């Protein structure tokens, strides 16, 4: 059995986040000690590591919930899990596509500032005047 602090240290997930995942039903509400301290089963460590890794990859809580449900049926084909991963990949690709023009514009703004004083700063001027931007973002 693990305390919430031990579980947090073992997985790198902060205590409030562990409580949030409990509230969301992603991890099982733990039993309590006589002193009312949460006591987690060892399996919850693996589950929490799974959730953390999925969150690091940008999966939504709902997608993680679906993946957890699928993992409870090891005999089922993995096509549903694959489609969830493909959906997440598409979301990431869309975000990257939106970030590329933003990156170019920030690079342009950051490298054009040659003033010695804020009154001559291209960064400040371009943020104050959207018309100075080279593209819509």
**Residue 120: predicted pLDDT:** 82
Q: What is the pLDDT of residues 17-34, one digit of tens each?
A: 999 999 999 998 887 877
Q: What is the pLDDT of residues 79-98, one digit of tens each?
A: 999 999 999 999 999 999 99
What's the predicted TM-score (pTM) here? Answer: 0.78
Angle at 74 between CA 72 and CA 76, to 5 degrees: 105
Q: Tell me what percent of the residues of the chain surpass a pLDDT of 90.
A: 65
E strand or H helix at 31: strand 31-32
Tell me how far apart the alpha carbons of residues 66 and 71 are, in angstroms, rounded to a whole number. 9
**Residue 129: predicted pLDDT:** 87
Angle at 59 between CA 84 and CA 50, to 5 degrees: 95
Query: What does the buried/exposed string (b/e) look like for 77-92 if buried means 16 or more CB atoms within 10 Å of the residue's CB?
Result: eeeeeeebbeebeeee
């Amino acid at each position: 059995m693990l305390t919430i602090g031990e579980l947090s240290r073992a997985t790198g997930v902060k205590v409030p986040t562990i409580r949030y995942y409990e509230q969301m039903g992603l991890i099982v509400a733990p039993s309590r000690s006589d002193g009312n301290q949460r006591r987690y089963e060892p399996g919850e460590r693996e589950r929490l590591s799974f959730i953390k890794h999925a969150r690091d990859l940008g999966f939504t809580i709902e997608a993680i919930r679906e993946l957890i449900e699928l993992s409870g049926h090891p005999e089922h084909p993995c096509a549903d899990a694959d489609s969830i991963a493909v959906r997440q990949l598409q979301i990431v690709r869309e975000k990257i596509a939106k970030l590329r023009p933003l990156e170019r514009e920030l690079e342009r703004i950051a490298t054009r500032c040659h003033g010695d004083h804020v009154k001559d700063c291209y960064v400040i001027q371009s943020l104050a005047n959207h018309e100075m931007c080279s593209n819509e973002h």
